A and B are shown apart, each in its own frame.
Chain A
Amino acid sequence: MTDSIIHTEKLCKRFAGPKKEVVEAVRDLDLDVAKGEIFGLLGPNGAGKTTTMRMLCTLLSPSGGKATITGFDLARQPHEIRRHIGYVGQKGGMEHVASGRENLMLQAQLYRMSKDEARRRSNELIERLKLTAFADRKTETYSGGQRRIFDLASGVIHSPQLLFLDEPSTGLDPQSRARVWEEAKVLHEQGTTVFLTTHYLEEADALCDRVAIVDQGRIAAIGSPAELKKQIAGDIITLGYEDETRAKAAFQLLEGQRVILEKHDLGTSLQLYVDRGDEALPEILRIVGQGNYPAKSVSLTRPSLDDVFLKLTGRSLRGDGGQS
């Protein structure tokens, strides 16, 4: 692809683990992100999202493979890349003992703006993002949401073509999250490409044009949220049970039923993929009822990205293990 702003081929990163074992944080990543997209990496903790982003931002050198960012080679031209990208890390990176405004001023001047230009640009962002009330307080006194918006401001101070956001809304209250999303959308409308990581399905769903679902360093699926959800035809029936033994017994009862396209045992609940939920539900309830394992609770839902993840990896995104 020629109009890709991010292009990677077999990019990988290996770390030495605590016991000298090799941790394959990112494996053979092939990715193309088009100009102007909001692209999301969605995956659980430890999937390799941050590692991927840090490689693309020139912060970490890959163990193998190659990448082109904003038209420059990652291995040979990191300096050119840095001029065209903005990065907001998971931890933000404000200097605690300086004010938000001072942080912005420094950032602007490091992007080669003159002092006057830097002041003008900082003021402009502070006003537009409504940060005036606390811009001159030390950032260590900020709330998580206030700091996050300042992080964003410092990431876009030089109007980069490509903005990287690592877990932009993790740990934020709903209002702050909404503001971060709103700002990402504004940037998107102005033509900025946004590359973000998240483990929130809602975020990927609401914000991203395309999503790559990553698990254990690999891309499991890639596409628009709608396309990904379409991979799961039909509806999902969830049966809840008092304990795992009863759930398992019911799982066995449903073995070989043709209305069920796919089923997952999630511990105390069973997840069943069916073509038409309204028709399949009475039939399924009849089977478990007759087998003396009636469900304690029943729900019928449309597939979410979590279900896509579950289908691809056999694990749930929300829980930390297999149970949800």
Chain B
Amino acid sequence: MRDAYLIAMNELRVTIRNPFWAVSSLFQPIIYLLLFGPLLNGVAASRGLPGGDNAVQFFAPGLLVMNALFAAGFEGFTLRDKLDSGFIERLRVTPISRLALTMGFILQSAINLIIQSIALIVCGAFFGLHFDIGGSILLVLLIVLIGITMSSISFRLALIIREGGILAGIVNTFVLPAMILSGIMLPISFGPPIIQFIAKFDPFLYAVDASRALINGAIGDPSVWMAFAIFIALSVITLGVFIRGMREAVA
């Protein structure tokens, strides 16, 4: 486990000091809050939003889920890069176990998400977000589970796909519809029945519902345990698949 920690800290250090990291992880959400927030306020005024008419209260929790979707979903790129440069191969000749190597990358991705999520909540507060402390801690935990799921899938794909462009295409193909159907941007209840029906199969719908409940401290809301059940299961499965992939692809 010390090895996993070493790998994670090493990766985290080089990730965080990249200026692009700060920009992409904070600048984008702020733009959303700044530009999309007022738009959504208009919607809130005319049609009303579930959970009150405060657009930030509706949108900011979803933004956390969205960040997890994209940030973790594209983690595969960093792995691809490290596979190509021979860095992974170099690590594999050291006495560190395959499992520690794998967990190092997952841990790095999780810590990264925790930092970004906290920054996002603090940011949201400036835009008038009210957050319940206990609920928010659970929310960050849920975000970590989503992150493990997404980064495991992304890492696993990176082991198979050698071309960065193709990798981006595949990730986008899945992440975009998953995001729209989750009701991050607009409530799914606005859509026609068919969309509402399909959205029921989008696990992120439950995550977004749960995140809205959690930010308000509604820990007992049924969406919360649903989301946790779904993402505990998904993260265990995807992580297992990634660990196996790492064993085989780079045995």
B87, B89, B90, B250: most-surrounded residue (chain A CB, <10 A): B90
Instruction: Tell me whether A87 is interfacial, beta carbon within 8 Å.
Output: yes
| Residue numbers in B under 8 Å from A97 (CB-CB) | 14, 18
Which B82-120 residues have a C-beta within 8 angstroms of A? 82, 84-96
The total of Cβ contacts below 8 Å across the A-B interface reads 70
Q: CB-CB < 8 A to B96: which residues of A?
A: 110
List chain B residues, Cβ under 8 A from A112: 95
Q: Chain A's nearest CB lies how many Å from the CB of B153? A: 24
In whole angstroms, how far apart are the Cα atoms of A77 and B85 in the complex? 27
**Within the assembled complex, what's the spacing in Å between the Cα atoms of A98 and B91?**
15
Which chain A residue has the least Cβ–Cβ distance from B101? A110
What residues of A have a CB within 8 angstroms of the CB of B250 in the complex? Answer: 59
Per the 8 Å Cβ criterion, residues 13-31 of B in contact with A are 13-14, 18
Asked if A83 lies at the interface with its beta carbon under 8 angstroms from chain B, I say: yes
Contacts of B7 in A (CB 8 A): 106
The answer, yes or no, to whether A231 is at the interface (CB within 8 Å) is: no
A176 to B231, CA, bound (A): 52
Question: Which residues from chain A contact B93 at a C-beta distance below 8 Å?
Answer: 57-59, 82, 85-87
The 9 closest A-B pairs by CB, nearest first: A93-B90, A91-B86, A93-B86, A87-B93, A110-B94, A97-B14, A89-B86, A82-B95, A106-B10
With a CB–CB cut-off of 8 A, which chain A residues contact B14? 95, 97-98, 102
Indicate if the CB atoms of B85 and A93 lie closer than 8 Å: yes
Q: Can you list 26 A-B pairs, Cβ within 8 angstroms, ordered by A?
A: A57-B93, A59-B92, A79-B95, A82-B94, A82-B95, A87-B90, A87-B93, A89-B90, A90-B86, A91-B84, A91-B86, A93-B86, A93-B91, A94-B87, A94-B90, A95-B10, A96-B81, A96-B85, A97-B14, A97-B18, A102-B10, A102-B13, A106-B6, A106-B10, A109-B6, A111-B95
B interface list, Cβ under 8 A from A: 3, 6-7, 10, 13-14, 18, 81-82, 84-96, 250-251
Which one, B10, B85, B91, B92, contacts A92 given CB within 8 A?
B85
Give the residue of B10, B81, B85, B94 whose beta carbon is less than 8 angstroms from that of A111: B94
Which A residues are in CB contact (< 8 Å) with B82? 95
* Min CB gap B54→A, angstroms: 41
- Distance A59 CA – B7 CA, assembled complex (angstroms): 19
- Complex interface: chain B residues within 8 A of A92 (CB): 85-86, 90
Q: How far is the CB of A140 from chain B (nearest CB, A)?
A: 9
Chain B residue at minimal CB-CB distance from A60: B251
In the assembled complex, how far is the CB of residue A13 from the closest CB belonging to chain B, in whole angstroms? 13
Bound CA–CA A57/B93 (angstroms) = 7
| B92 (CB) vs chain A CBs: closest residue | A59
Instruction: Give 14 new A-B contacts, CB below 8 A, not counting A93-B87, A95-B85.
Output: A87-B93, A89-B86, A90-B86, A91-B86, A91-B89, A92-B90, A93-B89, A94-B85, A95-B82, A95-B87, A97-B18, A102-B10, A107-B90, A110-B3
* B18 surroundings in chain A (CB, below 8 A): 97
- A61 contacts chain B at the CB level, 8 A cutoff: yes
A85 cross-chain contacts in B, Cβ below 8 A: 93
Shortest CB-to-CB span from B101 to chain A, Å, is 10
Q: In the complex, what residues of B have CB within 8 A of residue A111's CB?
A: 94-95
- B94 surroundings in chain A (CB, below 8 A): 82, 107, 110-111
Interchain nearest-CB distance for B94 vs A (Å): 4
Q: Tell me the A residues contacting B by CB distance below 8 Å.
A: 57-61, 79, 82-83, 85-87, 89-98, 102, 106-107, 109-112, 154
Set of chain B residues within 8 Å of A110, measured between Cβ atoms: 3, 6, 91, 94-96
* In the complex, chain A residues whose CB is within 8 Å of the CB of B10: 95, 98, 102, 106
> Quick one: closest B residue to A160, CB to CB?
B93
Interface centre among A61, A86, A89, A111 (most CB of B within 10 A): A89
Pick from A58, A106, A111, A112 the residue with the most CB of B within 10 Å: A106
Give the distance to chain B from A281, nearest Cβ to Cβ, in Å: 49
A201 to B92, CA, bound (A): 30
Note all chain B residues with C-beta closer than 8 A to A87: 90, 93
Which A-chain residue is minimally distant from B18 (CB atoms)?
A97
Choose among B7, B10, B84 the residue with the greatest number of A CB atoms under 10 Å from its CB. Answer: B10
Contacts of A106 in B (CB 8 A): 6-7, 10
CA distance A91 to B85 in the complex (A): 6
Give the distance to chain B from A85, nearest Cβ to Cβ, in Å.
Answer: 7
Nearest residue, chain B, Cβ from A58: B93
Shortest CB distance B230–A (Å): 35
Shortest distance between the CB of B83 and any CB in chain A (Å): 10
User: Most chain-A CB neighbours within 10 Å: which of B86, B96, B250?
Assistant: B86
Chain B residues within an 8 Å CB radius of A61: 251
In the complex, what distance in Å separates the CA atom of A60 from the CA atom of B14?
29
CB pair A154 B90 closer than 8 Å: yes
Nearest CB on B from A254, distance (A):
49
A95 to B94, CA, bound (A): 15
With contacts A109-B6, A111-B95 known, is A89 near B89, CB below 8 A?
yes
Q: How far is the CA of A39 from the CA of B57 in the complex (A)?
A: 68
